[in-house]
Amino acid sequence: MSKIHVMDDLLSNKIAAGEVVESCMNVVKELVENSIDAESTEITINLIDSGVKLINIRDNGIGMDREDAKMAFERHATSKISNLDDLFNIESLGFRGEAIPSIASVSKMSLKTSNGKTGTLITIDGGKDMKVSSSDLAKGTEIEVSELFYNTPVRLKYLKNLYIELSNIVEYIDKMALAYPDIKFTLINNGNKLIETTGNGDLLKVIYDIYGANITKKMIPINDENDDYTISGYISYPEITKSNRNSITTLVNGRVIKNNDLNRCIIDAYHTYIHKGRYPIIVLNIDVDPILVDINIHPTKMDIKFSKMDTLIDLISKNIKDRLETLTLIPEANVRETSSFNEVYNQISHKEENEEIIEEKKINEEKVYEEIKLDFNIEEEKEEYKEEETTRIKKMNVIGNIFMTYIICENEDGMYLVDQHAAAERINYEKYLDKMVNDKSSVIDLLTPISIELAHDEFIRCRERLDVFEDLGISVEEFGDNTFIVRSHPTWINEDIAKGEIQNIFELVSEKGSFDKKKFIDSTVTSIACHSSVKAHEYLSHEDMQWIVDNVRYCENPFTCPHGRPTIITYTRDQLDKMFKRDYNE
C-alpha cells in the first residue's frame, strides 16, 4: 500500500494558514491589501475584541462578479499574475492567491461583493460548506471573519492578549495610512474609533494624525533620486526619537517592508546625532522599477531583496546626512501649556464628550495643522534664499554657569544652556578624528614602553591586524607570550590617558568577527575625546567657558556629543515671555 498521497484542499489550506495567518493582524493585513489592489479610496476596518471575535473590512473598490468571488476561495487563484514573467514584475500588494482560502479554513467567513452589475454573497464555515446567494449592488467588497481559529484550538491558544493584538493592528494601519495618504482608513474596535484619516493625499497630515502636532513640527521633508531609485518622505529632528525601530516606516512601491540593511543605513546616517538605543521617526517612500526588487522571499511579503542595493543605501544616507547638516538642530525646552479645569476633569473622570465638543476638537486640530503647514512653507522659503553662513549657530555670549556643568548664554534669539562636557567632547571628537585620518606622522617615543597582555585568542587576532596599529602611528612589538609592548603613539593622544586608551584600542582590534575599520576609528576617537574633555562639576573660568561656546559653533555637528546627547538647548524669547505671562509689546 502506498504511503505517499496528495493532501486534500482543506488540510493544505490549514497548513498554508500557519504561514500566512499567525494573528489577527495578519488577517487584517491580507484583506486590507486586497482592498488596496481593488482600487479602493475608502477602507473601514471594524473589530470586536481586537479581531479575535470579529474582523469586518469594507471597501469601495471595483468589486467582483459571481464567478470571480467563488474562485477567490480556491487556493492559488489570483488575478495579479498569470505567468512566470509576471512574478518578476509585481506591482500589486497581493499575488499568491493563498490569503482568502487560508483565512477561510480557520474561521467562519462571509464575502459580499458587487462590481455594480451583479451582487454576490458567499458564506463558508471552516473552509467548507460554501453557500452562494445574491446581494445588493453597492459597489465594493465587504469581508467578515468571525471566530478566528475556532477549529484549530492550538493556534487560538497562542494568540497574544487583546491589547497586543490590537496594538499590532493599529501599528499596521498607521503604516498603511502613511503608505497610501490618498486612501481614507477608518479603524474601529468595539465601537471606538481609533484611526480616521482624511484620504486627501497629504502625507504630512497623516503624520499629524498619527504622531500629533509636536512631532509633526519636527519633521524634515526629503526628496531625491538617482538612475534607479526615487526617495521621498519625512525624517525627524534628532531630538525626536523612540525606544524601538517600529517608528522607522520604509515603503517600496507602496508596500510596507522591514529590511535590516535599510534600517541600518538610516540609523548610521544619524550617527552621533542620537543616543545609542534611540531611533528616529522616519517615513521613507522608495519608488523603483519592480524588476529591480524581489518580494517573493517570505510568506508575509514584508522582507524584500534589492538589486543595486549599494546605490540605494548611498542615496538614502547622503540625503539624510545632507539634510541634517543644513539645519539648526538645537532642541527647544518644552513649555507646558496650562489646561483648563474642564479638560483636566474630563481626563480624570473619563467623562464622555458630546458631538459638539468632538467637532470643536476637530476644528482646533485643523487650525493647529494649518499653522504647522504654514511654518513648513516659511522654512522652505528661508532655506531656499538663505545666505551662506560660516557657522550653524549664531554667536552666544556667556553669562555664567550653574552646577559647574551647564554654561548659560544669550543672544538676540533667546537663552541657551550648553553642557560643558558634551560641547568639549564634540570639539575634541572632530579634532581627533581629523588628526587620526590626516596626521599620522607626529608621534612621541615613550621612555617606558606600555605593556599590553591579552588572552590567547585576542593576541592572535591582534597579531593578524598589526597594520591597524601601524596605520594609527602606534609602534607595536610582540613581547613574550600573549603580550605586546607599545614604544610610541601619536602626539594627539594625551600622555595622562595614553595607557588606558591604548588598552582600549587593543580591545577593539581584538574583537571577534570581521573588522570594521570605520566603526573602529569612530569608537577610538569617541573614547579619547570623552576622556580628554572637561568633566561635569569641573571649574571653568569665564574665558574657558567662552572658548567652548565659541568653538563648538564651528563644529561640523555642534548640536550633539559623539554619543548623541545634546550639547545645547534653548529657551526662545517667545517661550520665556509665555512662561512669565508677559506680553512682548509691554
Query: Using one digit for the tens of pLDDT, what is the confidence trace for 114-137?
Result: 998 899 999 998 877 889 999 888
On the question of pLDDT at 199 being above 80, the answer is: yes
Q: What is the pLDDT of residue 356?
A: 59
Burial grade of 85 (CB within 10 A; 0-12, 13-18, 19 or more): exposed
Residues 287-336 have pLDDT tens digits of 998 888 876 545 555 677 888 899 999 999 999 999 998 888 888 776 44
**pLDDT band (50, 70, 90) for residue 378:** low
Residues 241-296 have pLDDT tens digits of 998 888 999 999 888 888 889 999 999 999 999 988 899 999 999 999 888 887 65
Percent of the chain with pLDDT over 70: 80
- Contact of 236 with 218, CB cutoff 8 Å: yes
Residues 445-500 have pLDDT tens digits of 998 999 999 999 999 999 999 999 988 889 999 998 899 999 999 988 888 889 99
DSSP 104-137: HHTSEEEEEEE-SS-EEEEEEETTEEEEEEE---
On the question of pLDDT at 5 being above 90, the answer is: no
From 260, 74, 237, 42, select the one nearest 141 (Cα to Cα): 42
On the question of pLDDT at 384 being above 50, the answer is: no
Q: What is the pLDDT of residue 480?
A: 83
What's the rounded mean pLDDT across residues 211-239?
Answer: 92
First to last CA, the chain: 100
**pLDDT band (50, 70, 90) for residue 81:** very low
Q: What is the pLDDT of residue 390?
A: 62
**pLDDT band (50, 70, 90) for residue 358:** low
d(CA 180, CA 189): 21
Residues 570-583 have pLDDT tens digits of 998 888 888 888 86
**pLDDT band (50, 70, 90) for residue 540:** very high
Residues 6+ apart with CB under 8 A from 212: none
Q: What is the pLDDT of residue 387?
A: 42
On the question of pLDDT at 82 being above 60, the answer is: no
Average pLDDT score over the chain: 83
